[in-house]
Amino acid sequence: MKSFLKYTLATIAGILVVNFLGLVIFFIIIGAATKQEEPTVLENSVLVAKFNSPIIDRANDDPFSQFAAGNFGMQGVMGLDQILKDIDKAKNDEDISGIFLRLSGIPSSMATVEEIRDALMDFKADGKFIIAHADAFTQKSYYLATAADKIYLTPTGDFDFKGLQAKVLYFKRALDKLGIEVQVVRHGDYKSAVEPFLTNEMSDENREQLDEMISSVWDKMIYEISLARGISEEDLEKYADELAVAMDERAVEKKMIDGTRYYDQVLDELRELTETEEDDDIPSISLKKYADVSGNKEASGNRIAVIYAMGTVVTGEAEEGMIGSDRIARAIRKARKDDKVKAIVFRVNSGGGSALASEVIYREVKLAAEVKPVVASLGDVAASGGYYIVCPADTIVASETTITGSIGVFGLIPNMQELMNEKIGITTGLVKTNKYADIMSTTRPMTQDERIIIKEYIDDVYTTFVNHVAEGRSMSFEEVDAIGGGRVWSGVNAMEIGLIDVYGGLEKSVEIAAEMADLDNYRLTSLPTLEDPITRLMKQITGGVKAKIISKELGSAYELYKQVEMINNMEGLQAIMPYTLDIY
């Protein structure tokens, strides 16, 4: 017994010691990370930019931002706001001679790439150079590279230029096998969020909207590439149709790139551009380190609040990466009541979500717009509930490749009676006091009366949605209804039908807000306030481990898992984008 107690106490003591040492090491890391000196930028330096990490709208401003959920200890996320800020800072930095783009795949949507490309074009307007190099070009990385003065590809490297595609997964056959019937009540012929649960193939309405959307995005890409490379749009279309530039030599021959060069050969050219001796290292600084270099902008008491709303719209608080109605509404209210905040930029990147949560946020945006300028900045996607919450803004800014619209509402109620009764062998006993006490039950089919009641509710929410848009956009109900019904639009289409006002990204939105508030000197403040670094790191560690394990086990099916998880988390009526749409 004494031996057992001895070994038990020794084990407990060992665990405590290990944990204590772990905490000591952890806080040493904290101290080292927070006491870093500002990097030195040497004269005639090259800013080295890689975009091989996921890019989100808002950067983390703490020393642990490199630890992304699902990628702990590996690559982190990048903030679009910080990228744009650093490129603008480099433009006015006398010690930065040019930018070297080291490209591969870019794990972000097209509108984000568009904003970075616009910033690069502005950077080189004053005569500074941009050189791009890749071992292989995807269509997104090549599109970004066309902002460069010279584009190089590693010999034998792949060159992807074949046009865009958009895929939709359909679950009907799988659900039939499981014995699950998805009961849907919706408003709008184009509300195809529920289509994958009702059919095994794409509807004509959905095919129509997707075709128009990706065609407008492709047209924008072709136009800009033509302008940058001096190749006619007709020839570019021909190259894509015939896969005429898939090989490196053909890409050079067709003037899509300026040559095939190995990395060391590109470095030789950078030495010439920076007047660096052959055996010396090129003076350079990475985009990540350059973020720690202070700018020269003077401080001001006047502020423009940039409120970031990213992810699915849900009720309650929710963490960063989700649009919790309480958290975002509180941030808007704070900016509205702060006399130092002279204007608000509401940056939204969301395919929508809960109709109720959208209404809560809508109300705060409307109240804010009544007392100070509010500019909505649409990111990669701001559709359905994502558009619902921005429609009261004074001005709506979006990229030509932004996905928006999807003005529609639906309810989804699974009937799992067959699964439970026939497949698993579970039956249900029910006692109720009133006729509709078990309305929306998932263990039986809906009755016709229940369907009528739910449809009336959905029609009412849809009418409210359309009226909000009509009021915000100075349109009639009929005009909004004609472009509504759940139909998705690209930024180009959205401009034509009056859903947005100006093409541009986050920086353009800030410029418009400053002009509306008559501000020459101001500083930006980001809301909602982020959690403290340690709390956020702990959440990233625990959440990242779970996500990483699931991602590794499921492989390519991980995206399907995330869609199913999103559906499981849906509550109430939904104003949400048809699906997670990745155009590539």
Q: Which tokens is 56 given?
A: 């989100």
DSSP state of 311: S
Residue 571: name the closest of 362, 326, 355, 389 by CA: 355
Residue 294's nearest CA partner among 99, 92, 531 is: 92
Residue among 270, 267, 240, 72 at smallest CA distance from 160: 240
Scored b (16 or more CB within 10 A) or e, 182-221 reads bbbbbbbebbbbbbbbbeeebeebbeebbeebbebbbebb
Cα 502-503-508 angle, rounded to 5 deg: 85
The active-site residue, picked from 384, 406, 490, 509, is 384
Site of tokens 């401080």: 299
DSSP 3-state of 527: strand
Could you tell me if 560 and 366 are in contact, meaning their C-beta atoms sit under 8 angstroms apart? no
- In the residue annotation, 284 being an active-site residue is answered as no
> What does the alpha-carbon distance between residue 490 and residue 30 come to, in Å, rounded to a whole number?
44
347 vs 304: CA distance, rounded Å: 12
Question: Measured at the alpha carbon of residue 149, what is the angle toward residues 125 and 241, in degrees to the nearest 5?
Answer: 120
Helix (H) or strand (E) holding 103: strand 96-103
Give the whole-angstrom CA distance, residue 392 versus residue 368: 9
Task: Determine which helix (DSSP H) or strand (DSSP E) holds 22, and give its type and residue range.
Answer: helix 2-34
Angle (CA) 120-125-128 rounded to 5° is: 80
Contact 152, 133 (CB under 8 A): yes
Task: Give, in order, the Cα–Cα distances in Å from 293 to each of 40, 269, 289, 308.
Answer: 8, 26, 7, 24
Taking the C-alpha atoms of residue 70 and residue 545, their distance in angstroms, rounded to an integer, is 6
Can the peptide bond before residue 283 be classed as cis, meaning omega within 30 degrees of 0? Answer: no
Nearest in space to 77 (alpha carbons), one of 285, 320, 345: 320
Q: Pick the catalytic residue from 85, 191, 220, 508.
A: 191
Instruction: Using CB atoms within 10 Å of the CB of residue 177, give its burial: 0 to 12 exposed, 13 to 18 middle, 19+ buried.
Output: exposed
User: Quick check: is 150 catalytic?
Assistant: no
Distances (CA, A) of 502 to 28, 61, 142, 318, 319: 48, 29, 26, 31, 30
Cβ partners under 8 Å of residue 224, min gap 6 = 117, 143, 146
Report the catalytic residues: 191, 384
